[in-house]
Structures are given as C-alpha cells and as structure tokens.
Amino acid sequence: MALLSDTWTMPWTDGLQSALLNPVQTWLAEHPLIAWLVAHPLWALGLLVLGILLLAGLWSAIARLTEGFWLTLVGLPFQLVSWLFTTVTRVLVRRWAKPAPQAHPDRLTEIIGRLETLQTEQEDLLAEMRQLLGERE
C-alpha cells in the first residue's frame, strides 16, 4: 500500500516542485549576483552584516544632523530675544544718555595758554638746574 501512495504523490510533488522552482531558477539565471550570493551563504551573511552596519552609521549620522537642526531651531527664539534686547538697550541709551557738557571755547583757549606758559617755565627751570649741576662738577 505504501508503494501505491508513493506513486500517487510522486507526480504531484514533481509538478509542484517544477511549478515553484522553475520561476525562481529562471530569475536567478537572469540575476547572477543574487545566484552567487545564494550559492555562497557565508559571503552573503558577511555582506548583510556589513550592510546593516553601514545603514546603522547612516542612521546615526542622520539622527545627529536632525538633532543639531532641532537644537538650532529651538534656540533661535532665545537668540532673537537676546539680539532684540541688546538693540533696544543701545537705542535707549543713545537717546536718553546725557551728553557731556561742552566747555566754552574761551575757557579752552585760556587753559591752553596757561599750559604753554607753564611748559616754558618748566624748560627754563630745567635749564637752570642743569647749569647749577654742571658748575658743581
């Protein structure tokens, strides 16, 4: 009886295998790189691990980039407020700061004249001191 069941199932399994495997074999024949990877599973596993590591690095680089973007975006209002505060403060100080009192031009000429007189007197005194020190030696 076992032989009879084998004969009944053999054509079905052959037909099923050919129906399922023929398209796969045709596709693998059209794509030799994939066929090579199927024939060499250790190389395929190594390339898969390498690809996963590269994608993980790319993912972390994208994450750092977006993190920097969001931190800049969040900090932008604070920088804007700081800039506005300093600008408004400068404008208000310029507007309401009391200017230094202007001296009268007559007084300036008088001060300059006195300084010139004092300078000439100082030069005369220095010359006299040199003369006295020169006589001593």
Taking the C-alpha atoms of residue 49 and residue 54, their distance in angstroms, rounded to an integer, is: 9
- Are 20 and 55 part of one and the same domain? yes
Residue 21: pLDDT band by 50, 70, 90 thresholds?
confident
The mean per-residue pLDDT over the stretch 99-121 comes to 86
- Are 8 and 73 part of one and the same domain? yes
- H helices present in 31-104, as ranges: 32-39, 41-96
- In a 13 Å sphere around the CA of 87, the CA atoms on its Cβ side amount to 6
Taking the C-alpha atoms of residue 100 and residue 96, their distance in angstroms, rounded to an integer, is: 12
- Are 115 and 84 part of one and the same domain? no
What does the pLDDT read at residue 98? Answer: 73
pLDDT, greater one: 18 or 43: 43
- Are 42 and 77 part of one and the same domain? yes
Domain that holds residue 18: 2-104
User: Any idea what DSSP says for residue 31?
Assistant: -
- Are 7 and 56 part of one and the same domain? yes
- Are 80 and 27 part of one and the same domain? yes
| Two structure tokens written together for 74 | 């969040």
What does the pLDDT read at residue 1? Answer: 46
- Are 24 and 90 part of one and the same domain? yes
What does the pLDDT read at residue 7? Answer: 53
Mean pLDDT for the chain overall: 86
- Are 18 and 71 part of one and the same domain? yes
